[in-house]
Homo-oligomer: A and B are copies of this chain.
Amino acid sequence: MLKPESVVIIGASRDPDKVGHVILQNYVNSGYSGRLYAVNKSGEEIMNFKSYKSVLDIKDKIDLAVIAIPAQFVPEAMEECGKAHVKSVIVVSGGFAEIGNNVLQDKLVHIAKKYDMPTLGPNCLGVMDPRSRVDTLFLPTFKLSRPQVGGVSFVCQSGAVGSTILDLISGEGFGLSKFISYGNAADVDEVDILNYLAGDDETKVVILYIEGIRRGKEFIEVAKKITRKKPVIVLKAGRTSAGASAAMSHTAALAGNYEAHEAVFRQYGFTIAEDISDLLSYAKIFSTGKYPKGNKVAIITNGGGAGVLTADAIGLSDSLALGKFSENSSMKLRSSMPQLVNIRNPLDLAGDADGKRYDDALSAISSDEGIDMVITIALFQTPGADSRVASKLISFSEKTRKPMVVLSIGAEYTKMHRIMMESAGLPVYDSPSAAVRSLSKLLKYSDYMAKR
């Protein structure tokens, strides 16, 4: 499904407003190098593609069929796929269990089982893999930017939330391994997908948006397995009765009791997100692959107030603490810092701090055993901060074994530097609490790995 050598779009259309048109268009634009076929009842030519009336007419082995036709016609199309020995199916069409049409959905599951043909959906966006260039999303690229290649795989029950988060990922430095939107989970579900990703070497970090879990026992099994290999960040929707009832009419998911879900997530080392932005914040830090040895944090800042707010965020955290610089570090700092700089943590380098001062400060504490993680605050509005600061932070982060994040808040000039640092693999945050929560989650997963 993710590395198909041949794909057929069933419901490909000339009409640019039709889902089947956008999917075919995206395949053509993406540079997909496999064999591509279009199926349309009218058999008309579409975008220079010969169109077949049925998948049975295609004289080739098909790895993946993407079905984008009205719900009532889906079973027939799947039957034809089964007879044509199509290996896997994605049904993007909606109109099944999510609107109470369980009978139609059951038919679809029955056909999938009969032909042993794994089927994703219905009511989903399908899959995207920037390496194989598979992209079944029916959303044009001008609306939804596609992320670069990376190590984060994103599993999402919802379609729109999926596309939204994917769009956000396109602005992040870490890049995407796989995107899998599985909708109603009629056949292939979160358990199958996590099993697959556990063994996928291209996937270093998994993020998961989930509304309900069908197979509790199997979920626990795969949870145990996958979190031993890679971090999984989960956002569970339908936590409250208001949300659960909305989830029911969205993907027909039984949201279940959130506390029970949370207990399972915690026990098996999942990292729990409270909001969409958490998913990205946590994926960013986990993507670095660096883990802390302890809970002591150093704050290096060019803005006193931002240092105070970050110290507060650490004080409010349930796991992190401010470290104390060793005598050796303090001596080094005293000899390299201007007289006005107080040698304490948070270390306020002052508004005129330039790249060299950051480098001196970071070097001074780099081998300090009392410091396990570093939050470097670089406010690019200040007189001393420019691209040389960003460069020094990047080169230091490449050398150090301590997890390090940057906090930079601001408009255009800041964003430019943020992109510069993130594309070099250095996580940048835009609020003290996001930086602190992310480091705290990193530590928790690190502790989980050490204890298991």
Residues of A bordering B, CB below 8 Å? 17, 19, 22, 94-95, 98-99, 138-139, 142-145, 156-168, 170-171, 209, 211, 235, 237-243, 245-247, 249-251, 274-277, 302-309, 311-312, 314-316, 322, 340, 342, 344, 346, 348, 350-351, 379-383, 385, 409-414, 430-433
Contact A211 B305 (CB under 8 A): yes
Cβ distance A6 to chain B, nearest Cβ, rounded Å:
26
Contact A161 B303 (CB under 8 A): yes
List of B residues within 8 angstroms of A342 by Cβ? 99, 249
Query: Would A433 and B240 be within 8 Å (CB), given that A304-B251, A381-B160 are in contact?
Result: no
A sample of 13 more A-B contacts (CB under 8 A), given A158-B305, A239-B315, is: A19-B383, A98-B304, A143-B380, A143-B382, A144-B410, A158-B304, A163-B381, A238-B308, A240-B314, A240-B315, A246-B311, A250-B307, A250-B308
Chain copies in the assembled complex: 2
* Centre residue among A164, A170, A239, A307 by max chain B CB count within 10 A: A164
Cβ distance A391 to chain B, nearest Cβ, rounded Å:
17
Query: Would A412 and B243 be within 8 Å (CB), given that A139-B381, A237-B312, A276-B431 are in contact?
Result: no
Cβ distance A25 to chain B, nearest Cβ, rounded Å:
13
> Which residue from chain B places its CB closest to the CB of A238 in the assembled complex?
B308
Cβ 8 A contact of A243, one of B165, B246, B308, B380: B308
Cβ 8 A contact of A382, one of B139, B157, B307: B139
Cβ 8 A contact of A312, one of B95, B238, B314, B316: B238
Query: Would A413 and B142 be within 8 Å (CB), given that A242-B311, A379-B163, A433-B274 are in contact?
Result: yes
List of B residues within 8 angstroms of A19 by Cβ? 383
List of B residues within 8 angstroms of A312 by Cβ? 237-240, 242-243
In the bound assembly, the distance between CA atoms of A381 and B181 in angstroms comes to: 15
Query: Would A209 and B305 be within 8 Å (CB), given that A143-B381, A168-B410 are in contact?
Result: yes
In the bound assembly, the distance between CA atoms of A171 and B69 in angstroms comes to: 42
Cβ distance A321 to chain B, nearest Cβ, rounded Å:
8
In the bound assembly, the distance between CA atoms of A85 and B168 in angstroms comes to: 56
Contact B381 A311 (CB under 8 A): no
Contact B413 A143 (CB under 8 A): yes
In the bound assembly, the distance between CA atoms of A163 and B381 in angstroms comes to: 6
* Centre residue among A138, A276, A302 by max chain B CB count within 10 A: A276
In the bound assembly, the distance between CA atoms of A162 and B303 in angstroms comes to: 10
In the bound assembly, the distance between CA atoms of A292 and B157 in angstroms comes to: 34
Contact A167 B410 (CB under 8 A): yes
Contact A277 B163 (CB under 8 A): no
List of B residues within 8 angstroms of A160 by Cβ? 302-306, 351, 379, 381-382
List of B residues within 8 angstroms of A237 by Cβ? 305, 308-309, 312
Contact A275 B239 (CB under 8 A): no
In the bound assembly, the distance between CA atoms of A353 and B238 in angstroms comes to: 23
Cβ distance A26 to chain B, nearest Cβ, rounded Å:
12
